Structure 1
Amino acid sequence: EARDEARSKFLKEQQLKKLEEKNSNQNNEDGVSDDEDNEDSLKVDEAKVDESKQMDFAKVEKRVRTTGGGSTGTVRNLRIREDTAKYLLNLDVNSAHYDPKTRSMREDPLPDMDPNEKFYAGDNQNRVSGQALEFKQLNIHAWEAFDKGHDVHMQAAPSQAELLYKNFRVNKEKLKTHTKDTIMEKYGNAATDEVLPRELLLGQSEREVEYDRAGRIIKGQETSLPKSKYEEDVYINNHTSVWGSWWKDHQWGYKCCQQTVRNSYCTGAAGIEAAEAASDLMKANIARKEAAEEAPAPAEEIRLATWGTEVPDDLVIDQKKLAEALHKEDERKKEERDERKRKYNVKWNDGVTPEDMEAYRMKRVHHDDPMKDFLN
């Protein structure tokens, strides 16, 4: 079978060549005999190929790469057999979806792979290449123009929409050029204005530099100190010193006014004096408060001696007043026994002195005292 197919193909190619030569030399070959025509017809019959044996791209069916049919094409969508199939690039279930009917995989099956090493990055890479981007921008421009009041419709009048988009791009480019020229005319271009002279560009210079074994420069070009990435010698808000030149109580500040607030305004020597005065006043108030807490008030001592609590050691009692208080206490107790133990009387003075309290303590009966019966 392979021999027959090869023979039939060879004969068909020879016949086609002869037919082309005949058509080109038709005017010169009018005198060809009928015998030669018969021989050619016989060769054509022999060159007929059995169509049932041509299986590569001969079979044509409908509904190829479409859902509703209507288009025709070869059934076979061949690939190079050395290449890995799309659905075998990533065997993860949650990876890019592969549609077996259309043999398409829109998403990238290996998104984490280096783009330079990828052989296949999904069918969507073809959707953003070529004129697809221009068509997408054309649709977006038509939508935006319709929203702004222009009578444009991409599907109803595509030629009008494309012409309008082309004019829009031309006008936009002109506007950008005009804006650039205006700015260049007003401010100039430092890249082109300050051009070095030709003799300096082509000039040469020689210098001698000596290095030590460690690579340090001993003689020659001076080493330039590296610049810091922080701002240096920048004075803001009327300060005469930089931030961080003052340190107090674990806080940074300005030395000129001794303030520890970053963006504060400089107050100078007056601010330093005011801060010192406030600090001295605060220290004086703290010392006064501590002294007041340590020493009790005189009124408090009188109250303690009057109401029968602990008697201070430095309490001074007049003996005459104490004797009078003892006498009054005896009379009060007698009246209580005689007048039904009446404890309150309007004729008594309610003022209590330390001597009265001392007399009360001396005359008071302690019920828990075992010697209470022998006191009187």
Structure 2
Amino acid sequence: MATVHHWTGLEARALRLALRMSVRAFAERLGLAVATVSKWEKLLASTVPRPDTQAILDTALGRADASVHLRFETLLSEIGGPAQVQAAAGRRVTASGPRAWEYESWADDLDRAVVALSRQNFTFADSLLDRWLSRFKAAGLDDLDDLDDKGLYLYARSTALLGDLKRDQGTVLGPLSAHHSYADARSIFTQLDIPRRVAQLDLSLTVVAEMSGKLETAAHAYETLAVDDRLSRRDRARARLWVGTALSKDGNHDYAIRVMQAATREFEDLTEPEDWSVAHQKLALARRGSGDLTQALHFIDIARRSGTTDSPMQRVRLDTAHGHILLSDPATRDDGARVLDRAATAAAQYGLVHQLRSIESVKASSEGPMGPRLRR
């Protein structure tokens, strides 16, 4: 059932409409003057009932049946949007913030967005995030006397998830990019003084730097984060793995392999099978880069057999890595091309633009001069 932490004329009007009462009938039900209810109707969120009247409204809402609660929540979601409410003369104009009942709905939508992103259902995830990010702004939420800064926290988390969406779609830099969303979310979590979230955003920003080709910068940042106590042990292990990824992309395969193997052991100790699988995929590519195709095929086979996720993104990554390795050997070149074509089809289906670019890059590099001498 809906509850209201702080009544204004806006919520009072929504309750009247949910009860399907006229202004006069609503005033009589509450035991108030018609002029009082008329004032609420006119000034909406810029007027606040007295404390004793707030208690009367609490009682009226509490006694209402489920159908009234449903209409009340629906009306608030429709009329309590981002538009600023006109205040009385001489008063500051303030934005309407989320009501108490909306916090739970917002948090539920973020959980649903996480699941949608894990399945690369970008359209649905974007609609869930836009539902809240288009209604509220960080500056407006910061001005409100929210309980425990819930609204601002949820806004920051929504912005961080929007960054994940943009990153997975391949929109890495620019005003509507992963980098921009991550930076905004980091600023809010810094303001809220939540060090763990700030460090997680530092990790995400480093991933963006790596994706945009700043490999040396990314490797140094990962090294710092790999020993950052603000992060969980799992996130520190991921940072260590990604040190190896950046080094391998930059051609430093031997050292990359050593770093990745340390991260792999960490994932095994943590009992993180999915991360362990991903680590073997990265190891396979590093072995391929060093010219050791036998070990590359060994590690990619482990990654394919041990992965537990049903994520299209991870399937595309596995196929891309496998195809890259097969394409490196003239004896399996045709097989590699078929695996890469399959990966490209899936990447296009799910809108994985960055993965498509990676696949095209692999294909292009295979048509040029041969890389390092390969060992079988």
Q: Structure 1 length normalisation: TM-score?
A: 0.17
Q: Structure 2 length normalisation: TM-score?
A: 0.17
> Greater CA radius of gyration, 1 or 2?
1
Q: Report which of the two has the higher share of helix.
A: 2
Q: Which has the higher contact order (CA 8 A, sep 6+)?
A: 2
